[in-house]
Amino acid sequence: MSRVIGIGLAGFGTVGAGVYKNLLRNGPLLEQRTGARFEVRKIAVRDMAKPRDVQAPAELFTQSADDLLADPAIEVVVELMGGIDIPLAFVRKAIEAGKIVVTGNKALLAEHGAEIFELARDKRVPVFYEAAVAGGIPIIKSVREAFAGNRFEAIHGILNGTSNYILTRMTDEGLEFGPVLAEAQQLGYAEADPALDVNGWDAAHKAIILASLAYGFWIPPRDVLVEGIERVTASDIRFADELGYRIKLLATIKADEAGGIEVRVVPTLIPKAHMLASVGGVFNAVAVRGDVVGEAVFYGRGAGQDPTSSSVLGDLAEAAAFLQSPRQCVGFTSHGLYGRCKPVDRTISKYYLRLGVEDRPGVLAQIAGTLAKADIGILSVIQPEGLVDGSVPLVLTLHDAPYGPMKQTAEALASLPCVKGQPLLLHMETFS
């Protein structure tokens, strides 16, 4: 006979409702594959009267998440509340109570993963979190298990569907950021407040989780370079195209030869020939490069009710396996191969620099002279004809340089009388 496992859902929004719906639909399939029958025993919500697209029996609902923890028939709690403070308190109490935790809360893990997993180790309670990164793409399990025999040389990811949709539309239609953002909001791809999506921090939380899992220590958010897509223009996308690149909000995670870890999430020029350059719309993709496996690319929907609930169901299957055969706690394993973040100012990259300059002789010489003083070499120059907002665009691609000196040089260029407006500095990724 199948073992019955009681589930408590903390949150019944888009993903929570999807988990309940898909448990009903595919519960028999899960039972055949895992030998466990999952039963939702309680659902904690903030507003009992809120209309819901997915219906569940009224007796399952409670306004107190603590009711999930007090019920001995609930062995697994699924945290899908959103936010940080309330979920953090709930997850702490769940672990203390010996409940297996499944969560899709990327911000919670990025900010408090270290303490959560330390407590989980002490209490020998696993925490599963596949749904926290890249929706339905099984990247957490792959990094943690399938590539366990690899040293990770680099991980690159398009981890936010909203930003990727906006940049794709800007690329395909030559549109500016503002109108495409409004379109994304109308289609439901962007929230009414889209800040976390377009300013890079949604993707950065996911990058922190991936980097920490790959390199064995929790990456402090303060050590991650994060920039959004708000200042990218249709002209930048056109110039990048002429240079043979696409602009994507790219999460870059790298280890250097000395064991320093670099993590950044910034708009980045990607060569058109690379697979990540072709990832369009709301889709996500992650490219993992290991010293044994080489490069492996994962592609799929990075958000939405069904893709994300699919990852939660996978974690429930993992929880069933743990309950049937307890083993060393799973979720996050620290190791001593690495142990420090590379300071952002010392990270090295090629760059795209767009300036607005006066249309007169000697301007390019001034720009080149300022770059030369900083020992930054020029790879290429584009200077199209015609004024844009009273100045002429000047686009340069630049040789490898540390980010700190490069940023200071961009600020020095902005102070030149011949430069109008604020320069735009973007990274260029070669995947070498």
Question: 162-199 pLDDT, tens per residue?
Answer: 999 999 999 999 999 999 999 999 988 888 889 989 99
In a domain, 334, yes or no: no
Q: Which helix (H) or strand (E) holds 249?
A: strand 245-255
Phi, psi of 214 (to 5 degrees): -70, -35
Question: Which CATH number does the domain housing residue 374 bear?
Answer: 3.30.70.260
Give me the sign of the Cα torsion angle 203, 329, 153, 376. Answer: positive
In a domain, 330, yes or no: no
Exposure pattern of 370-383 as b/e (b: 16+ CB <10 Å)? bbeebebeeeeeee
Q: What is the pLDDT of residue 188?
A: 85
| Portion of the chain with pLDDT greater than 90, in percent | 87
In a domain, 333, yes or no: no
Residue 330 vs residue 314, higher pLDDT: 314
- Residues 234 and 260 placed together within one structural domain of the fold: yes
Task: Compute the distance between CA of residue 302 and CA of residue 285 in angstroms, rounded to an integer.
Answer: 8
Q: What is the pLDDT of residue 339?
A: 73
* Averaged confidence pLDDT in the chain: 94
- Residues 313 and 420 placed together within one structural domain of the fold: no
Exposure pattern of 406-427 as b/e (b: 16+ CB <10 Å)? bbebbeebeebebbbeebbbbb
109-133: per-residue pLDDT in tens? 999 999 999 999 999 999 999 999 9
Band of residue 43 on the pLDDT scale cut at 50, 70, 90: very high
Q: What is the pLDDT of residue 389?
A: 67
Q: What is the pLDDT of residue 386?
A: 67
339-393: per-residue pLDDT in tens? 789 999 999 999 999 999 998 889 999 999 999 999 999 999 998 876 666 789 9
In a domain, 343, yes or no: no
Confirm whether pTM is higher than 0.85.
yes
| Portion of the chain with pLDDT greater than 70, in percent | 99
Cβ-in-10-Å burial (0-12, 13-18, 19+) of 86 comes to: middle
Total domains in the chain come to 3
Q: Which residue has the tokens 């507003």?
A: 47
Task: Compute the distance between CA of residue 409 and CA of residue 97 in angstroms, rounded to an integer.
Answer: 54
- Residues 82 and 168 placed together within one structural domain of the fold: no
- Residues 284 and 156 placed together within one structural domain of the fold: yes
Residue 92 vs residue 430, higher pLDDT: 92
How distant is the alpha carbon of residue 250 from its chain centre?
A: 9
Average pLDDT score over residue span 405-417: 96
In a domain, 357, yes or no: yes
Task: Compute the distance between CA of residue 131 and CA of residue 81 in angstroms, rounded to an integer.
Answer: 13
Residues 311/104, Cβ–Cβ less than 8 Å = yes
User: What is the end-to-end Cα distance of the chain in Å, rounded?
Assistant: 53
Residues 94/69, Cβ–Cβ less than 8 Å = yes
Last residue of a domain, one of 258, 292, 324: 324
Angular region, 124: left φ>0, alpha ψ -120 to 50, beta rest: left
Q: Is the pLDDT of residue 259 over 80?
A: yes
Report which of 21, 41, 84, 57 is spatially closest to residue 304, judged by C-alpha positions. Answer: 21
Question: Which CATH number does the domain housing residue 243 bear?
Answer: 3.30.360.10
Task: Compute the distance between CA of residue 232 and CA of residue 430 in angstroms, rounded to an integer.
Answer: 20
- Residues 293 and 150 placed together within one structural domain of the fold: yes
Phi, psi of 107 (to 5 degrees): -65, -40
Task: Compute the distance between CA of residue 295 and CA of residue 290 in angstroms, rounded to an integer.
Answer: 7
For β-strands 100-103 and 127-128, DSSP reports them as parallel
Q: What is the pLDDT of residue 1?
A: 76
In a domain, 116, yes or no: yes
Q: What is the pLDDT of residue 335?
A: 82
In a domain, 115, yes or no: yes
Band of residue 332 on the pLDDT scale cut at 50, 70, 90: confident
Last residue of a domain, one of 324, 359, 383: 324
Per-residue DSSP letter, 216: S
- Residues 76 and 46 placed together within one structural domain of the fold: yes
Task: Compute the distance between CA of residue 338 and CA of residue 76 in angstroms, rounded to an integer.
Answer: 33
Q: What is the pLDDT of residue 333?
A: 82
Task: Compute the distance between CA of residue 258 and CA of residue 368 in angstroms, rounded to an integer.
Answer: 33
In a domain, 332, yes or no: no
Query: 206 catalytic, yes or no?
Result: yes
Task: Compute the distance between CA of residue 368 and CA of residue 364 in angstroms, rounded to an integer.
Answer: 6
Q: Is the pLDDT of residue 329 over 70?
A: no
Q: Which of 42, 99, 106, 206 is catalytic?
A: 206
Structural domain of 47: 3-135+305-324
Per-residue DSSP letter, 46: S
- Residues 317 and 281 placed together within one structural domain of the fold: no
Q: Which residue has the tokens 């430069």?
A: 419
E strands within 142-244?
152-158, 225-226
76-93: per-residue pLDDT in tens? 999 999 899 999 999 999
Report which of 236, 169, 266 is spatially closest to residue 423, judged by C-alpha positions. Answer: 236
Q: What is the pLDDT of residue 334?
A: 84
Task: Compute the distance between CA of residue 163 and CA of residue 177 in angstroms, rounded to an integer.
Answer: 10
Q: What is the pLDDT of residue 391?
A: 86
- Residues 390 and 285 placed together within one structural domain of the fold: no
- Residues 102 and 177 placed together within one structural domain of the fold: no
Q: Is the pLDDT of residue 257 over 90?
A: no
- Residues 244 and 279 placed together within one structural domain of the fold: yes
- Residues 313 and 403 placed together within one structural domain of the fold: no
Per-residue DSSP letter, 281: T
Q: What is the pLDDT of residue 338?
A: 79
199-208: per-residue pLDDT in tens? 999 999 999 9
- Residues 310 and 399 placed together within one structural domain of the fold: no
Query: What is the torsion angle, in degrees rounded to the nearest 10, for the CA atoms of residue 262, residue 265, residue 268 and residue 271?
Result: 60
Last residue of a domain, one of 324, 356, 378: 324
